[in-house]
Structure 1
Amino acid sequence: MDSLSVSITAANDTPLGAEGDLPLMLPGRPKMRYDFPKAWHHFKELVKDKENTAEVAKIFEALPWRGVYDAAKAFLSTERGQRIRASEPDLVSILDDHASLRRLPKGTVAHAYCDFMEREGLSAQGLVDELDKYRPADMYFNDQVDWYFRRLRDTHDLMHVLTGYGRDALGEQCVLAFTYSQQPALAHLFLGYAGAYEIARRATVKVPVFRAVREGQKSGKACPRLVEMSIRDLLAMPLEEARQKLGISQGQYYQQAHAMWRAAGIDPYDLMAPVQKAA
């Protein structure tokens, strides 16, 4: 089987790891339920302060991926899932070791990832530290499912790299939509389209905002689930080959929106900046 293909078998409660390994999933994990009033309350608070990460975390608590436990157990109940868990116990240490990643050939996903993270002043550990401030205490479990949860978090910036979506406002909404198709927490979809509405509402130039977000959602659906791939294998692949293999198309409408904004004198990374009028 191809190392980047996804194979999921029916879940069972027997882990395939070595004797004495972590249990597959400990009892007592909270049920994944929707709480729409809670989500709406925290969304209204987020509108008041769009940098308030705590409100984003609360929205994800209220609109989770309800099938995440089943997905994690299904993957971890395969030999392939256990092989990947054994070879990649901690993605943060792999992703933040830029010296090792830079030893891979130029043009690979690894180099594109390092370029992106260094340019943006980011690190995988930094994301961990930020999100851990808001992680509910009842979500800490010493089991294999927790490993799967950590990968959901740690592959976020790889999605930016593979899709080509930047950290501008529209790029973030497109990544949220892409992520929804990979990790269908309703919060991803809600925040992605709510953010798109806010961009379209405030924009002084009409651009294909919603089409760009929808394109990101479709691309995420076409791509096999990244969390269930060998990230080491993915990092070693040429970037364009990886995109082609994973069915990730460049965001045509995203690029079109950027071109239209720039033609109007608007910086896509600062949509609130005043339009530059021609002399």
Structure 2
Amino acid sequence: MAMTADALDAPILRQAAPSADVRLPRPRLQWGAALKALQRLLNDKEDTGQVFEIMRALNGTSTARCYERLLTTARGGRIAYERQEMADKLMDDAWLDSLPVGSVGAAYRDFIRSEDLSAEGLAEVSRIEGAEVDIQHPYAWMGRRTRDVHDIWHILSGYHRDGLGEACLVAFSYAQTKGLGWALIALGAMSRSRGANYPYNKAIWQGYKRGKAAAWLLGEDYERLMAEPLESARKRLGITPATIYDSIPPEARDAAVPKRV
């Protein structure tokens, strides 16, 4: 789930952040909107905007719970107090270039550059009409944090950007966040993979189990994590190998979420 750097050639019309006294609307589940967006996403996995439509429809309460959980962690109070915008940090090329070879950050740097991705591009896609993305509120900030670390989770989990890799990562993300939007996307992908020649659904289910077994990644200090050796970070965080996903040939992984004819 990411945006190509080419999309940034046009001027970015960033929404002006409303003042801090703006009240967030009461979260409510919008299953109809979510299911329509899921259908569009399954027909085009590159239509990242549909992911945010689904998140907007289903993930409001889970984002609030994640923020409250952050405050209970050892570093969470400081992280919440500083309220760093991860997209801004991840757009700092000088910082990315300073990260050591073999680190989480070096792997992330190589990933986004080889795939022509951008943290700011992903942020722009999230600014769908009517979205409360940029408001000055702790829960909105937590939503941005969850959005911005998505591609770092690709690196930590070992899942690539093919159809199966994204499906496995959303299952992993559901286990981490309990956001129903992630669960809906994972189930939608599994519904398209029945009767396939490869164990796609087992790979997606393993993604959920890996996410459940791992440490809570939203509570991590990402500046420290990005400088940490990748394999050491995976071991510390309890992120086990993606054995089923890795067993499926790369050329077969996009077939996990086929487009409807």
TM-score normalised over the length of structure 2: 0.80
State the Cα distance separating 1:256 from its structure 2 match.
1.1
For residues 75-129 of structure 1, give each alpha carbon's deviation from its aligned partner in whole angstroms, at most 9, with x where no partner exists: 2477732322455612123222233233232111111111111111111111111
State the match for 2:35 in structure 1: 40
Contact 2:70 2:76 in 1 (8 A): yes
State the Cα distance separating 1:159 from its structure 2 match.
0.6
Q: How far apart in 2 are the matches of 1:126 and 1:52?
A: 13
State the match for 1:169 in structure 2: 163
Q: Which has the larger radius of gyration?
A: 1
Aligned residue runs from structure 1 range 220-235, under 5 A: 220-235=211-226
Gaps of 5+ in 1: 1-21, 273-279
**Structure 2 letter corresponding to 1:240:** E
Give the aligned CA root-mean-square deviation in angstroms: 2.7
SS in 1 for 2:252: coil
Are residues 212 and 69 of structure 1, via their aligned partners in 2, closer, same or farther at CA, if it must alter by over 3 Å?
A: same
Q: How far apart in 2 are the matches of 1:234 and 1:169?
A: 27
Are residues 108 and 79 of structure 1, via their aligned partners in 2, closer, same or farther at CA, if it must alter by over 3 Å?
A: closer
State the match for 1:108 in structure 2: 103
Are residues 139 and 115 of structure 1, via their aligned partners in 2, closer, same or farther at CA, if it must alter by over 3 Å?
A: closer
Q: How far apart in 1 are the matches of 2:233 and 2:134?
A: 33
State the match for 2:3 in structure 1: none
TM-score normalised over the length of structure 1: 0.75
For residues 30-73 of structure 1, give each alpha carbon's deviation from its aligned partner in whole angstroms, at most 9, with x where no partner exists: 22222333333333444555544444333223322523213313
Contact 1:170 1:199 in 2 (8 A): no
**Structure 1 letter corresponding to 2:66:** A
1:70 is aligned to 2:77: no
Aligned residue runs from structure 1 range 98-177, under 5 A: 98-132=93-127, 134=128, 136-177=130-171
Partner of residue 184 from structure 1, selected from 169, 178, 186: 178
1:97 is aligned to 2:92: yes
Identity %, equivalent residues: 34
Gaps of 5+ in 2: 1-18, 257-261
Contact 1:59 1:187 in 2 (8 A): yes
**Structure 1 letter corresponding to 2:119:** A
Contact 1:222 1:246 in 2 (8 A): no
State the match for 2:202 in structure 1: 211
**Structure 2 letter corresponding to 1:101:** L
State the Cα distance separating 1:149 from its structure 2 match.
1.8
Q: How far apart in 1 are the matches of 2:74 and 2:56?
A: 31
SS in 2 for 1:271: helix
**Structure 2 letter corresponding to 1:233:** R
SS in 2 for 1:82: helix
Are residues 79 and 190 of structure 1, via their aligned partners in 2, closer, same or farther at CA, if it must alter by over 3 Å?
A: closer
**Structure 2 letter corresponding to 1:142:** Q
SS in 2 for 1:71: helix
* Structure 1 residue ranges, 4+ long, deviating more than 6 angstroms after superposition: none
Are residues 125 and 47 of structure 1, via their aligned partners in 2, closer, same or farther at CA, if it must alter by over 3 Å?
A: closer
**Structure 1 letter corresponding to 2:226:** L
Comparing both chains, which one has the higher relative contact order based on Cα–Cα distances under 8 Å and sequence gaps of 6 or more? 2
Q: How far apart in 2 are the matches of 1:47 and 1:152?
A: 22
**Structure 1 letter corresponding to 2:77:** Q
